[in-house]
Amino acid sequence: MSEILKIKDLSYSYKDGDHERVIFDHTSLAFEEGKFYAITGESGSGKTTFLYAIGGLDNQYQGEILYKDQEIKKIGLDEYRRNKVSMVYQNFNLIPYLSALQNIYVAVDITDNVGRITKKEALAILAELNIDPVKAARRSSSLSGGEQQRAAIARALAVDSPIIIADEPTGNLDTEAGEQAVEVFQKLAHEKNKCIIIVTHNLQIAEKTDVQYQINQQTHQLECMK
């Protein structure tokens, strides 16, 4: 499996009051296609910060983040977010007044794949994630937490980006729905060759991933646990 995302000498710190708070200090690691990764750590350890950095949402870091050996800043963060990476959030981040289907349209409209998804294709993706057409047409705010999360994953699938990053994707789900979501991620990694990176503090979920990294707050490094 080829490396799709490489982190080289990543350092991240910010001013917290009078003192400088270091999150990462020259940490390096790589993510491969077709694998399911977990980033774990205590609250405030910098999990989300890491996710935002590799998701192209925060560029205040030192070091390099390489997508297929190309610095993402050089690709352009907008372009990178648009076509290379998809984000799934703990609170699902669906546009609440739009249906699951429309949320997919919005996402596709933003990517360079404009016009390349039909209603049938979008419904098929949703169906794959157990969202039937009736629910797909409902306002996303009226769906259950699990359904919303699956709709958010469907949105990520629809834009067909090779990397899917999820921030505490099971945080707002009950156990069953959480497990379903994890299964979906496993399938995406193993069957669709996606690189799935989730941030979680749930070790049981982390156990189900292929590779687990933990943020060591003493060394400010990401250490491979599994």
Partner 1 sequence: MKKKMRKILFDSWIAAGSRTWVYLLVVLAAGTLLSLTLFFSGGNSVENTLASSINLSLAYSNNSFVSSHYDNQMQMPKLELVKKRPDLNKEVYQMFVNNLDTLASSPEVTYFNFNFESWLQTDQSDSFQVFGINDSRFFAKENIRIIEGTGEIKEGEAVVSDQQVYNTLLADGTLTQRKAVLGDTYTFVNTYDKERGQLFTLKVVGIYQGASSMQSDSEDDDFIGSNGIVTTNSMFTQLLADHPEYYGGYIAQKLHMGTSNLTGEMMVITDPEYFDADGNFLNDKAAIDYHDIDEFEVTSAAHYSPMINHIVLETDTFEHYASLKQKFDKFSLETNRNAAKLFDEFTKDNPKYSLKFMLQTNENYFGSILDSIARIKKFYLFIFLSIYILLMLSLYSFINYMQYDRSREIFIKYSLGSSRKKISRYYMKYYALPGLAASIIACIPGYLLSWMLSSSTAAASVQRQNEFIRVEEGTQTVQYTGVSLFDLSWQRMLLAFAAVLLIMELVIMACAWISTMRVLRGSLSNHARGGR
Q: Hey, what are 68's tokens?
A: 């297929």
Backbone angles phi, psi at 144, to 5 degrees: -70, 170
Shortest approach of partner 1 to residue 68 CB, angstroms? Answer: 17
Rule CB under 8 A: is residue 83 a binding residue for partner 1? yes
Rule CB under 8 A: is residue 105 a binding residue for partner 1? yes
Which positions from 85 through 104 interact with partner 1, judged by CB under 8 A? 86-87, 93-98, 102
Tell me, residue by residue from 107 to 146, as one string, x for binding to partner 1 by CB under 8 A and - for no binding: xxxxx--xx-x-----------------------------
Burial 70-109 (b: 16+ CB within 10 A, else e): eebeebebeebbbbbbbbbbbebebeeeebbbbbbbebbe
Beta-sheet strand order (sheet of 36-40): 85-88, 163-167, 195-199, 36-40, 211-216, 221-224
Shortest approach of partner 1 to residue 127 CB, angstroms? Answer: 19
Q: Which of 8, 11, 57, 187 binds partner 1 (CB under 8 A)?
A: 57
Q: Which residues contact 74 (CB under 8 A, 6 or more apart)?
A: none
Rule CB under 8 A: is residue 162 a binding residue for partner 1? no
Residues found near partner 1 in the complex (CB under 8 A): 14, 23, 44, 46-49, 52, 55, 57-58, 60, 78-83, 86-87, 93-98, 102, 105-111, 114-115, 117, 159
